[in-house]
Structure formats: structure tokens, C-alpha cells
Structure 1
Amino acid sequence: MSGVELGVIEGYYGRPWSWEARREAVARLAPHGYRFFIYAPKSDPFLRRRWQEPHPAPAGAELRAFSTFCRERAVRFGVGLSPYEIYRDFGEAAQAALSAKLAELDSFGLDDLAILFDDMRGDLPGLAASQARIVHWIAERTQASRLIICPSYYTDDPILDRVFGQRPDRYLEDLGALLDPAIEVFWTGEEVCSREISPGHLDRVASQLRRKPFLWDNYPVNDGPLMSPFLHVRAFTGRPAAIGPHIAAHAVNPALQPTLSQIPAITLAESYRQGEAYEYGQAFLRAAREVAGEDLARALLLNTTQFQGFGRDRLTEENVARMRARYERFDHPAAREVLAWLDGAYDISLAEIEAT
């Protein structure tokens, strides 16, 4: 195993995984060195717009049971909370609501608590100071042994400035200077969905944050109206093992398809283990065989270009018919995910994202 702490952060928009799928992912990935799982799907309103309300009893029971499942496998369990724009008015009412939510989350059995300030307006004076104050307030009250913050500006990508307002000058530097060194900070790289991540880039960000970034890797995630017509199944590339000493940990944001997501996740672990000897094509085949078996692995390899290069919207009727016939032969969850993708079951509209 590599020295890099690997894990999953379930941080996508759209159709959520089932609890059984989460358990299967933990069981599959733990032997490959995945040591944490952070539950933070954007579809859970009680962690986002309705964060001030408790989870319904059945959902709370599922979270407690999943926490136990993870810990029994030496996997840290965490939750990502997005207290929507709480930094705009962190008065007595907000503090009381947040205190109640933290108590609820503690009851689930947390090892990790992520406070997510992403996808919120950020062009506000004193943003870093307000967020640091809130996170320190939380640190004094949570029972989680690790606290991680996602900044409002978690990448160099200018798309965040266009959507959420121009980032304040020296935002990262101020946040890094104000935060307790024990608090980790998520970072996605040079882009929201970074094509590659280099040691030099990570070192520059570490100097700004005064700590190694906790990598939130937006691959193989495929949420949103632009990405949901694609299946991201290829092995990891652009994350050389050389970045390991430059990060605090490496969290993978998976695709909407839980079984297929296991394939690239396994290849990331292999990349860290093998270093310069890593071959992404061979890594894909080994991981796909493990997850899906020999015959289905070969079928997935055959269609990788259509999945990831063309996308469903560019497939002809003949392409779709051939693929449907190919995957209907398999009684396997990975094949069923391909068929559901062909049917448009994972499509996400912009309106759905804005309502989340």
C-alpha cells in the first residue's frame, strides 16, 4: 500500500447511491487502501438547504448503521455539512441551529466532519475571517476527530468567480493564516475537474494555505447537465504518485454509478503503489475484472470511447441498440448501470442543481 490516505467523498449532484451500494463500495475499496468515506450527496436536503432540520428517523438510522459498517472495516466515517451561507449572519439563532445539527451528526458516530462552503456566494467582505470563526466555533463542539473545510473558492478555476462572485483578494492566504493548523482544507486543483495535478501546483497552494491541501478529486464524478451523458470509467491519469508527499489525503468524488465508480477508484490506488511503473490501460483491465468479471470487463473496454469520448447524446440508434444487446446479457450491477445510463436515468438538469 502507498503512504497516501485514500478515501471517498460522496459529493455529487443528482441521483443518490443506495445504502447497499455504499456498503459495497466500502467493502470493495477498503482492501485497496481506502480508509475514509464522507457522506455528502448534494441530494440530501438535511445537509444543505434544510440543514437546520433533523434527518427523518429512517435516514438517521441508516447513517448510524453505515457508520458502524465503516468502522468495523477500519474505515473512517464522515459527513459533509453545507450550512447554507451561514457566514452572512452567524448570530444566536444560527448558532443554536448549528449546535443542534452538530449534536445530531455526533449521534451518527463521526470520525470526520467536513464543513462545506462551496457553491455559495463568496464576493463578501471578511469572508475568510467569518468562515474561520465559524469553523473554530464548530471545532469546540464537534466530537469528530478530524475537521475539514471546503473553501468557497476551492480551485484556481475562474468559473467559480463567474458563478459565485469575484473571490476576495488573498482569500486563501487569509484563510490559511486564520485557521488552526489542525484543520484540513479541501482543494480540487487548477480546475474544478482537473485534468492533471502536479507537485508544483500543490506546493504553491500549500504555501498559501499554510498546510498541505486535502485533495478533493472530481474524477470520476459525472454530475451536471454537461457530464451526466458520459460514463467516466477510464483508469486515473494525471495524478502521478509523485504528488503523494504534497497532499494531506486524496478523496475521490465518485460517479453517479456506484459499481462502475469502483473501477477507476481501484486504479488510483494502483497508481500510487506502482509509481512510474503504472500503466493505466492495464490497471483498468485488472480493476474491471475484479469488479465485473472477465467478460463484462472486456465489454466495458470495448465501449470506453463511446462512454467517455462520445457520450450518450452522440450515439446513433444503431450504437445504442448494439450496446443494449451487449449489456442485457449480463446479470451484474455494472451492466445494469450501463443500461440505466442508456435510458437517461442519470440525466441531471441545471434546474435540478439550482434547486438543491
Structure 2
Amino acid sequence: MMPELGVIEGYFGRAWSWKERRDVIDRLAPAGYAFFHYAPKIDGKLRREWRQLHDDAETQNLQQFARHCAARHMRSGIGLTPYGAHLDFDRSARQELKAKIAHLDTIGIDDLVILFDDMRGDFVDLAERQAEIVDCAIGSSKASRFFMCPSYYSDDPLLDRVFGQRPESYLEKLGKLLDPAISVYWTGEEICSREFSIGHLASVAERLGRKPSLWDNYPVNDGPRMSNHLHLRSFTGRPAAVGPYLAHHAINPASQPILSCIPALTLPSCYAKDDAYSYSSEFLNAATNIGGAEFALMLQRDLHALEDRGRLGIAAEVTGFCRKYAAVDTPAAREIIDWLTGGYAITGEMLRTQ
């Protein structure tokens, strides 16, 4: 059974253009992707400056995005991170949140996503505070479906080292306090999980009181180290057998929108073909779909260099790679050249300020 597939645009760094988002939607909707949640870290009015409303031009872009999703039979959603609201959700903060939700309603989104990632969470009553905020948000929204992302969205101890020790039984409390209809995003045993198992997902479902919605951090490459690597290979470690244990499966794409579509196009086959799935042939099919046969064969030969060795590992060969992909001159090839020349580099400052 294939869960509902989607995209959660939740990366740090350089933003996609609205044309790039439309292009991604146009490529993935026919493959079976059913929703697109807009939540790039660079959009400060959805994060650190969430109390500010998008201006007229920004609002119009968001409205056009929602309409484009609808025209492709995809649900549109927006991810809002109410930074600091969990510290003191007083009357003023409550009114500001309602005003923000009312503005988002004018965009015409189908899904509202409330995010609590990337903030300190070492409060004994964190689950209660966040459940109150979510309850206020969904009670004010005209969206027809709701998601939330916990502060501790994985069992990975790295979250505790960075954001403080998670409260005892945090996930269990959150599951009991949230309306059962609210979907909860989860990244797996690690922040960037290499594989997913029935045992783990069943355990998370028991703790949450609902099937988790997978926030799959592949092919995202938005860290200072990861941004030096292109994530291009087909999906592996996502066996079809996990499908019945998931409410949704959303991928967090790479910084390169068109190249992201190569692995993205292999995920539906991962579920549909089950034991007949061949990740190498699926890669070649997807890369051909995105850039043509010549580009696909070239990329297949260069996978080790671009994905494993990375930009720093092939620094002495960059000029040659740029010349080779310039000769192909497709949108995907141009993204490779842009990446090779540092256009997608992520800094620590971006992680601290976005």
C-alpha cells in the first residue's frame, strides 16, 4: 500500500523561484505526488518574523502557487513556525497567531502545517504548550487538513544536544493532547534516516496514537557539509512494506529543484514495484525523464564524483565538469554547474539566522 506522497519544502539556504516550484509540481504531480507544503527556512515571515504578514506581491505569489497546485490536482499547504510563542502564549500572542492564520486563509491553502522544529524544547510542559498553540491555530483556520512537526521529530540524540534534553514522555503526551485528525511529521530514527523499518514506525505510531507522517530528509542537502554533495541516487531503504504504517510520505527536496526530481521520481516506483524495484534502472529512467538520454548516461557515470566525493573532493576537476555539462545545456545540467561554482553553498550563519 502506497501512502499519500508529497513534498515538504523545508530546507535552509537559497530559495527556489516560483517558476522552479511550478516546474517541480508539473513534474511530480503526474508521478503520483498529492501535496506540496511550502515552508522554506528563508521565508522569515513564516519563521522568526512570523508576526509580520506577507506583502501584496508575496501574497499574490502564494495565491498563484495554491492555484497552480489545484490545477495539477495537488493539495497546497503552508508551514508556519510560531517562533517564541511557546515561551509565553499570552493573549497578545494568541491574537497575533489568529491574525496570521486569517492572512494565510486568504491564500487559499488546503493544508496548514504548524512547525516547532529548530527551537529549544527543554520545558517540562512542552507538549502542553505546543498543543495549546496548535489548537488555537486550527480553530482559527479555514484549511481542511492539519499537520504539525514536534520539536523532537526523531529519536536522534543530536536533537537533545542542540535544542536541550527532550521532556520525558514528550511524544506520548503530545499524541494524547492533539486532535486525532492532526497529522504529525516524523523523520525516523535519525534526522536524516538512511532507512525505515516497520518496527520503528509501529513504535512511533503507538507513542503518538496515530500513524506518523514521514518527513523524509532525502534528497535534502542543506547543511554546510551536505551542500557540497548532490543527492541524486534513487530512493533505497524505503521498502513498500512500510507503506501501511505511514499516514503520508513527504520528501524534503534538495536545494536544486530540478535535480531533486530525479530521486523524487523513483519513490513512487519504490512502493509500486516492491520486490521488483531496481534502484539503478529507476535512476536512469528518472534522469532520462528530467534531462534526456545523453544527460542521464553522463550523470550515471559521474554519480560517485558528484554525490560521494562532492564539490570539494573534485575541486581540481571543476572546470572540466563545468565544460562537460555546459555542452548538454539542460535546466538540470545548469543546476550542476551552479552547484559546482558555489551557488548553492550553505553556511553556518544561514542555519543560525533563517
Task: Please say whether Structure 1 and Structure 2 have the same fold, judged by a TM-score greater than 0.5.
Answer: yes
- Equivalent position of 2:350 in the other structure: 352
- Equivalent position of 2:324 in the other structure: 326
Deviation at 1:355, TM superposition (A): 1.0
CA contact (8 A) 1:85 1:117 kept: no
- Equivalent position of 1:248 in the other structure: 247
CA contact (8 A) 2:98 2:136 kept: no
Query: Which residues of 2 match residues 217-232 of structure 1 at below 5 A?
Result: 217-232=216-231
Counterpart of 1:225 in 2: which secondary structure? coil
Instruction: For 2:294 and 2:57, locate their aligned partners in 1 and report how far apart those are by CA, in whole Å.
Output: 39
Instruction: For 2:302 and 2:108, locate their aligned partners in 1 and report how far apart those are by CA, in whole Å.
Output: 41
1:63 to 2:53 alignment: no
Counterpart of 1:234 in 2: which secondary structure? coil
Counterpart of 2:224 in 1: which secondary structure? helix
- Equivalent position of 2:338 in the other structure: 340
Deviation at 1:316, TM superposition (A): 4.1
Counterpart of 1:251 in 2: which secondary structure? strand
1:92 to 2:80 alignment: no
The two structures, once aligned, show a CA RMSD in angstroms of 0.8
- Equivalent position of 2:49 in the other structure: 50
Counterpart of 1:38 in 2: which secondary structure? strand
Which letter maps to 1:210? G
Deviation string 1:179-199 (CA, Å, 9 cap, x unpaired) is 110111000000000000111
Instruction: For 1:320 and 1:345, locate their aligned partners in 2 and report how far apart those are by CA, in whole Å.
Output: 13
Query: Which residues of 2 match residues 258-297 of structure 1 at below 5 A?
Result: 258-297=257-296
Which letter maps to 2:274? G
Instruction: For 2:208 and 2:350, locate their aligned partners in 1 and report how far apart those are by CA, in whole Å.
Output: 33
Query: Which residues of 2 match residues 233-244 of structure 1 at below 5 A?
Result: 233-244=232-243
- Equivalent position of 1:21 in the other structure: 20
Which letter maps to 1:28? R
Counterpart of 2:83 in 1: which secondary structure? coil
Counterpart of 2:273 in 1: which secondary structure? helix
Deviation string 1:294-324 (CA, Å, 9 cap, x unpaired) is 001111111111111111111141x222211
Instruction: For 1:310 and 1:183, locate their aligned partners in 2 and report how far apart those are by CA, in whole Å.
Output: 41
Instruction: For 2:84 and 2:51, locate their aligned partners in 1 and report how far apart those are by CA, in whole Å.
Output: 12
Deviation at 1:133, TM superposition (A): 1.2
Counterpart of 2:194 in 1: which secondary structure? coil
Deviation at 1:85, TM superposition (A): 2.3
Counterpart of 1:224 in 2: which secondary structure? coil
- Equivalent position of 2:124 in the other structure: 125
Counterpart of 2:28 in 1: which secondary structure? helix
CA contact (8 A) 2:115 2:150 kept: yes
Deviation at 1:352, TM superposition (A): 1.6
Instruction: For 1:346 and 1:21, locate their aligned partners in 2 and report how far apart those are by CA, in whole Å.
Output: 15
Unmatched runs of 5 consecutive residues or more in structure 1: none
Give structure 1 regions of 4+ aligned residues with deviation exceeding 2 angstroms.
none
Counterpart of 1:250 in 2: which secondary structure? strand
Deviation string 1:236-261 (CA, Å, 9 cap, x unpaired) is 00111111000000000000000000
Instruction: For 1:16 and 1:40, locate their aligned partners in 2 and report how far apart those are by CA, in whole Å.
Output: 10
- Equivalent position of 1:144 in the other structure: 143
1:215 to 2:214 alignment: yes
Instruction: For 2:251 and 2:188, locate their aligned partners in 1 and report how far apart those are by CA, in whole Å.
Output: 13
CA contact (8 A) 1:177 1:209 kept: yes
CA contact (8 A) 2:239 2:274 kept: yes
Counterpart of 2:66 in 1: which secondary structure? helix
Instruction: For 2:149 and 2:315, locate their aligned partners in 1 and report how far apart those are by CA, in whole Å.
Output: 41
Counterpart of 2:37 in 1: which secondary structure? strand
Structure 1 vs Structure 2: percent identity of aligned residues? 53
Instruction: For 2:258 and 2:126, locate their aligned partners in 1 and report how far apart those are by CA, in whole Å.
Output: 39
1:168 to 2:191 alignment: no
- Equivalent position of 2:112 in the other structure: 113
CA contact (8 A) 1:327 1:339 kept: yes
Instruction: For 1:237 and 1:23, locate their aligned partners in 2 and report how far apart those are by CA, in whole Å.
Output: 27
CA contact (8 A) 1:47 1:80 kept: yes
- Equivalent position of 1:72 in the other structure: 71
Counterpart of 2:22 in 1: which secondary structure? helix
1:103 to 2:102 alignment: yes
Which letter maps to 1:200? G
CA contact (8 A) 1:132 1:179 kept: yes
Unmatched runs of 5 consecutive residues or more in structure 2: none
**TM-score with structure 1 setting the length:** 0.98
Q: Name the count of aligned residue pairs.
A: 354
